[in-house]
Structure formats: structure tokens, C-alpha cells
Amino acid sequence: MPVLVMKFGGTSVANLDRIRRAAKRIGVEVAKGYDVIVIVSAMSGETNKLVGLVDETSPLFDAREYDAVVSSGENVTAGLMALTLQEMDVPARSWQGWQVPLLTTSAHSQARIEDIPPENINAKFDEGMRVAVVAGFQGVSPEGRITTLGRGGSDTTAVAFAAAFDAERCDIYTDVDGVYTTDPRICEKARKLDKIAFEEMLELASLGAKVLQTRSVELAMRYKVKLRVLSSFEEQSDEAGTLVCDEEEIMESNAVSGVAYSRDEAKMTLQSVADRPGIASIIFGCLSDGGVNVDMIVQNISEDGRTDMTFSLPTDQVKRAESALAELKNSGGLNFADLITDLDVAKISVVGIGMRSQSGVAAKMFKVLSDEGINIRVITTSEIKISVLIDRKYMELAVQSLHDAFELENAA
């Protein structure tokens, strides 16, 4: 039988009523003739509760025991979902990551999937099981310890299963009814997209859109897994939600498909750094070793052999960056005059595969921001995106203005 993967996020399984609602959706797909692999998250709020208990118990915790605790929320949901399906006379059983097994690296709390051997689950399908309910977010290390994949890891679990079992499609059920041109909470003109290319979704996810985890989109693009994002709370049709697919499946692409934003950005500038080969490697190698994720980078024009280096980073990594750079300076590894941090910035991005063939997007974006009196601090571009760093107080105005300028309310 064909395989369908269905993933239900925390809000979709927040209580027994919602689990029953999700189970009915699963039953519909079973009735269509699918063998279904269901990936479930922990019930809404449960993971945060478990993380809090770990922090309270052991601030300097053993990452292996952390994974053992925080992965337990998904186990509960998987068991409850399997029981609910059994009550509906749907042959189902629950699977924890180690039982599948979902094999990962040993990087606890940020493990990466290495392999998902399909034999165990396929054997149960052959015996008459119709639904395998798998605890998302978790796997097993080469040492036999429970691992977790990082926040949002259930999305990645779902796509990985779809790839491993050559599923017809992977449906991601969440609390929104698809992928929008921008955040509807900021722009009331935001519209749901019927289709979006993998590359566009990957950019939007990495630039602040919260619909899908970035790693899940990377996997889907690599293994050509068709993704569909749907709401758990609305009646469904075969055309519901947003399909994330190959660019070739989209008939005609607008220059811009969406506007993304990231509120929690900071800008740091190292003043008067030596302008010589290898200096950037020293700076960003130090930050990488300190666990800092740098995004936008600008080097100013050199004067008298000295230059300024500016970059953006998440606000929750500022102290880590300041500590790493101070240690580097104190050790004599880098000399700079000052380190200036600005916590009041936001990143705004326009994304669209149509940029490859249509010119003028950057000029239009910059004119729109200029007309609104919004100063651009930093600019970065790629083939299908343009990102700018601006003062955070203008974030919502920038999103709304760009959405209007590119007429995204007409997107479909």
C-alpha cells in the first residue's frame, strides 16, 4: 500500500479532544488505502515544562539525561494517539525513536539523523498494522542513548520518515492553514500561498518564518519529499493548505513570494581591526567556536590599514559573542579599539524565485523603505532573497509597506 506521513504539532495534540480530532483525520487517510506513519510532538507546553524541571534540578546538566527527560513528552502523545486509534478500530501501535530505530549522531540535544531502517515498521504493516505512531524529536545514538533533534525536530522527523519510506506525501498539521505571504498578525492583507518552492520555503524558514523548521525543509528539498502544510482545526480538502514542492511544479513565479522578519536580532561592530589577510577567519572562527551564529557581515572601507567589521546575530547570543571576543583580545589573538552592540534592530527580507528572471526588486525594496523614512543599516543578498537590517521600531511598518509594494495580497 502507498505510505502517507502525517505530523501533528503540539497545539494539534494539546489535549485528548484534539488527539481524537487528529485521530479522525488519520482514520480518513487509512480508509483511502494508505499505510500511515504519524509523527507526534509533545502536548502543547509539555516540553517547556520538562526543560524547566531539568534546569531547576541541574543548571549544569548532563546532556544525555536532558534528552532522556525532554523526549518523554512525545512518548506520552504517541501512546495516547495509538490508544485513541485502537478505540476507533484502526490497527495502530506506538513507536519510540529507539524502537524504529531512528539512528542519529551523538550530539545530544542537537543530534542529526543518520538513518531510518524501514524493516521493523514495514514488518508490522505486513502483519496488518495500518498506523505507526512515532514519537517525534527523538532518536538513538551509536552508544544506545536517547537523543533529541533540537526544537522543532518533529518536523525533521516527519520529512526523514517520508524520505526513508518513499511516502507519497508528508502532511504537516499545525495551528495555521498554510504558508502565508507574511505574518498575518502583522499584515492583515497577508494571503495563503497554494504552492511555494522548496528554496523559497527554506529561505523564509531561515529568515524568521515559524511555519516549518529549517532542517525539515532542507531534507525535503534534498530527497524531493512533497510537503503540505495544513491546519488541524479546519475542514480539509485535497487542495487545502500550502504545497511545498519543486520549482518546476509552479507554473509562473512572482518576483517576490513573501516577506519575512526576525525581531530578535542584534548588530555588533568591531572597530579598528587590522585590515590584512586572515583577520576575518580569526574573528568568525572565534565566534563559531563560541557557538555564535553570525548572519549578515559587512566590512567597511579600510583607512590606514585599519577597518571596521559589522555583523548580525541573534540577541540571545550577544553575551556569548562579547565573551568570546573579549577573551580573544585578552589573549593577544586580535586587537580592536572597541566593540559596539546594538540590540534595537530587526531583519526584514523579501524572498522569491522570480528574482532570478526579474530585475528591479532591490531598487524597489530600497525605495519603499526610503519613502517611509527607514534607514538601512546592513544589506545582504542571495539569488532569491534580499535582507536588510533596520531599526526595530520600524519593523512592522517595513513589512506592511513591502507587502503592499510587491502586491502580495494578490498572491495565490
Q: Tens digits of per-residue pLDDT, 193-236?
A: 999 999 999 888 887 677 788 889 999 999 999 999 998 887 76
Q: Which residues of the chain have pLDDT under 70?
A: 208, 236-239, 251-252, 411-412
Cell 572562527, located at residue: 285
C-alpha cell at 152: 522543532
Please give the pLDDT value at position 95.
98
E-state strands within 246-290: 258-274
Please give the pLDDT value at position 291.
87
Please give the annotated binding residues for substrate, written as ranges: 47, 74
E-state strands within 79-168: 92-95, 103-104, 113-115, 131-135, 138-140, 146-148
Q: Distance between alpha carbon 48 and the CA centroid of its chain, in Å? A: 18
Q: The dihedral of CA 327, 265, 211, 385: what is its sign? A: negative
Please give the annotated binding residues for ATP, written as ranges: 7-10, 174-175, 180, 185, 210-211
Going along the chain from its start, the domains and CATH numbers come out as 3-175 (3.40.1160.10), 259-410 (3.30.2130.10)
CA dist list (Å): 230 to 6, 243, 244, 410: 10, 9, 11, 20
* CA–CA–CA angle 92, 97, 99 (5° rounding): 65
Closest CA to 162 of 153, 152, 170: 170
> Is the distance from CB of 247 to CB of 253 less than 8 angstroms?
yes
- pTM of the model as a whole: 0.81
Please give the pLDDT value at position 155.
94
Return the H-helix or E-strand segment holding 294: none
Please give the annotated binding residues, written as ranges: 7-10, 47, 74, 174-175, 180, 185, 210-211
Other Cβ atoms less than 10 A from the Cβ of 185: the count is: 9
Please give the pLDDT value at position 59.
81
Contacts of 404 (CB under 8 A, 6+ apart): 189
Q: Is 218 helix (H, G, I), strand (E, B) or coil?
A: helix
